Chain A
Amino acid sequence: MGMTMTEKILARAGGKKRVSPGEIAVVEVETAVLIDLSFLPEGWREVLKVYDPEKVVIVFDHLVPAASVQAASCHKTGREFARKFGISRLHDVGLDQGISHAVVAERGYALPGTVLVNSDSHTCAAGAFNCAARGVGAPDLLWAITTGTAWFRVGETIRYDFTGSFSPGVTAKDLFLAIAGTYGAHVNQNIEYGGPGLKALSIDARRTLATMGAEFSAEFTIFEADEILIEYVRARNEKPFEPVSPDLDASYKERRAIDLGAILPLVALPDAVVNQSVPVSAVAGTRIDQAFIGSCANGTLEDLEIAARVVKGKKVARGTRFIVTPSTQAIYRAALKAGHVETLLEAGALVTPATCGACVGGHMGVLGPGEVCITASTRNFKGRMGDPSAKIFMASPATVAASAIAGKIAAAEEVFA
Chain B
Amino acid sequence: MIAARVWKFGDNINTDLILPGPYLYRSPEEQARAVFEANRPGWVDQVKKGDAIVAGFNFGMGSSRPAARSLKNCGVGFLVAETINGLFFRNSVNFGLLALECPGVAAAFEEGDKALLSLSEWTLKNPRNGLVLAVSPVAAELLAIMQGGGIYPLMEEKGLIAPRS
**A interface residues (Cβ-Cβ under 8 A, vs B):** 24, 37, 40, 42-43, 45-49, 62, 68, 70-71, 119-121, 134-140, 142-143, 146-147, 151, 153, 155, 185, 187-188, 214-215, 217, 219, 272, 274, 360-362, 379, 381-385, 388
Are A137 and B66 in contact (CB-based, < 8 A)? yes
Give Cα A9 to B25, complex, Å.
35
A49 to B156, CA, bound (A): 12
| 17 additional A-B residue pairs with CB within 8 Å, beyond A62-B24, A135-B87 | A45-B164, A48-B160, A137-B66, A137-B90, A138-B64, A139-B150, A142-B155, A142-B160, A143-B160, A185-B61, A188-B83, A217-B61, A272-B14, A274-B12, A381-B17, A383-B20, A383-B38
Contact among A47, A121, A142, A381 with B87 in the assembled complex (CB-CB below 8 Å)? A121
In the assembly, what is the distance between CA of A349 and CA of B58, in Å?
37
Instruction: Identify A137's interface contact among B17, B58, B94, B162, CB under 8 A.
Output: B94
Task: Report the separation of the CA atoms of residues A139 and B64 in the bound assembly, to the nearest whole angstrom.
Answer: 10
- Kindly supply a per-residue 1/0 record for chain B positions 115-154, scoring 1 wherever the CB is within 8 Å of any chain A CB and 0 otherwise: 0000000000000000000000001011000000011100
Contact A70 to B152, CB < 8 A, known contacts A136-B64, A138-B66: no
Is B64's CB under 8 angstroms from A135's CB? Answer: yes
Given A46-B162, A48-B162, A143-B151, the answer on whether A382 and B66 have CB atoms closer than 8 Å is no
Please, how many angstroms separate the alpha-carbon atoms of A383 and B94 in the complex?
26
Contact A187 B86 (CB under 8 A): yes
- Chain B residues, Cβ within 8 Å of A24: 139, 141-142
B84 touches A187 (CB 8 A): yes
Q: Chain A: which residue is nearest B20 at the CB level?
A: A383
Among the listed B16, B25, B58, which residue makes an inter-chain contact with A383, where contact means beta carbons less than 8 Å apart?
A: B16
With A185-B57, A383-B38, A388-B37 in contact, do A137 and B64 touch (Cβ < 8 Å)?
Answer: yes
Asked if B141 and A388 make an inter-chain contact with CB atoms under 8 angstroms apart, the answer reads no
CB-contact partner of A45 in B57, B85, B152, under 8 A = B152
Q: Which residues on the A side are within 8 Å of B66 (C-beta)?
A: 42-43, 137-138
Partner of B83, one of A43, A47, A49, A187: A187
Residue on B with the closest CB to A361?
B21
Chain A facing B: main interface SS:
loop
CB–CB A382/B16 < 8 A: yes
The residues of B that contact A40 with a CB separation of less than 8 Å are 24-25
Q: Which residues of B contact A37 (CB under 8 A)?
A: 24, 64-65
Q: Which residues of B contact A388 (CB under 8 A)?
A: 20, 37-38
Whether, in the assembled complex, B46 has its beta carbon less than 8 Å from a beta carbon of chain A, the answer is no
- Tell me which of B87, B91, B165 has the highest count of chain A C-beta atoms within 10 A of its own C-beta: B87
Q: Which residues of B contact A (CB under 8 A)?
A: 12, 14, 16-17, 20-22, 24-25, 27-28, 37-39, 57-58, 61-66, 83-87, 89-91, 94-95, 139, 141-142, 150-152, 155, 159-162, 164-165
Which of A45, A62, A274 makes the CB contact (< 8 A) with B155? A45
Contact partner of A362 among B21, B37, B85, B87, CB < 8 A?
B21
Are the C-beta atoms of A47 and B85 separated by less than 8 Å?
no
Closest to A186 in B: B58
Q: A120-B64, A217-B85 are contacts. A381–B14 as well, Cβ < 8 Å?
A: yes
**Contact pick for A49, options B38, B142, B160, CB 8 Å:** B160
- Select from chain A the residue with minimum beta-carbon distance to B28: A42
Cβ-defined contact, A142 with B161, below 8 A: yes
Residues of B within 8 A of A47 (CB): 160-162
Complex Cα distance, B139 from A30, in Å, reads 25
Q: Closest CB of chain B to A277's CB: distance in Å?
A: 15
Contact B58 A187 (CB under 8 A): yes
Cβ-neighbour of A219 out of B28, B38, B86, B151 (below 8 A): B86
List of B residues within 8 angstroms of A45 by Cβ: 152, 155, 161-162, 164
Q: How far is the CA of A68 from the CA of B26 in the complex (A)?
A: 12
17 example contacts (A-B, Cβ-Cβ < 8 A) are as follows A42-B27, A45-B161, A48-B160, A134-B86, A136-B90, A137-B91, A142-B161, A143-B155, A185-B57, A187-B83, A187-B86, A214-B87, A219-B86, A360-B21, A360-B24, A361-B21, A382-B16
